[in-house]
Amino acid sequence: MSAAPAALVTEHLQRDAVLITGCSSGIGEATALLLARGGMLVFANVRRAEDGEALAREAGDNLRPLVFDVSDADGIERARAAVAAEPGIVLRAVVNNAGIGSAGPLEILPLDEIRKLMEINYIAPLAVTKAFLPLLHESRGRLINVTSIAGKFAAPFGGAYAASKFAYEAASDALRLELAPFGIRVIVVEPGAIKTKFWERGSAAAEAMAAKLPAAALVPYQPYLERFRAVVLDSVQKAIAPERVAATIAKALVAARPRARYVVGADARLQLVLARLPEPVRDAVVRRALGLGTGA
């Protein structure tokens, strides 16, 4: 019997793969484990080698850790080269999930903190997208951007974080139309509160930052910040598991006709309703919830 044509052998050996950023914990970790256990080859971005090793032990042979910082251009390029060099794979999707949080009144939040939020939550995923788009062009694959319901609804004291998410929502809208002629689907996943270390890290970072600010600057806001903290803690207690978001990402990855957006969590759906209310009504609801007066 003659040997099979090389093209057929190559096609037979090809494996579907996905790149996911921010896999050290939370949504990224849950998604990486779900997809790897389902048979897909997962390139999982982590910032520390030990996190990648732990994830690989749990996921098995279908996971390849990629250690790099999403804000580091050289690291992104090394990751792109590593994925491109993997024999017999077809990159079906890039899942931009890595992100950071922060909170505080915009009046006193340091500009460096705001720049950092924009860098990690907007510029970095755009940089990852640009680096891996040539591979998605080849596969006519999917770009899945995990933003937040904060990309639709900006709450008081969360304005800087929301701005970074609004920015990537806007970029996703543009990319969805720009890449459509090439068969690349762009999908946004908008979770609400999730039971992850994200909130703990964000709260600790906010407290550390507040300690560096002039005490007098915080005094006028203190009653409202206390109420805001209580509301956030209450939402975290009711938060959904990251596996819920992972299942939504998996659904978006394989759906024949994926939605442009997937809102995940009851609190996210509630905030989306609030975002669509007339501004006077929305403002009145939020002011009442946080005890914010009008100053009149």
> What pLDDT, on a 0 to 100 scale, did the predictor assign at position 1?
37
Q: How far apart are the first and last CA of the chain?
A: 89
Domain boundaries, the chain: 6-290
CATH code, 6-290: 3.40.50.720
Rounded to the nearest integer, the mean pLDDT of the chain is: 89
Residues in the chain with pLDDT < 50? 1-12
> What pLDDT, on a 0 to 100 scale, did the predictor assign at position 204?
57
- List, by residue number, the catalytic residues: 161
Q: Report d(CA 295, CA 77) in Å as an integer.
A: 51
Can you point out the beta strands (E) in the chain? Answer: 15-20, 41-46, 63-67, 89-96, 142-146, 185-191, 261-264
- Taking only the tens place, the pLDDT of each residue in 82-120 is 999 999 999 999 999 999 988 889 999 999 999 999 999
> What pLDDT, on a 0 to 100 scale, did the predictor assign at position 12?
44
> What pLDDT, on a 0 to 100 scale, did the predictor assign at position 27?
96
> What pLDDT, on a 0 to 100 scale, did the predictor assign at position 2?
41
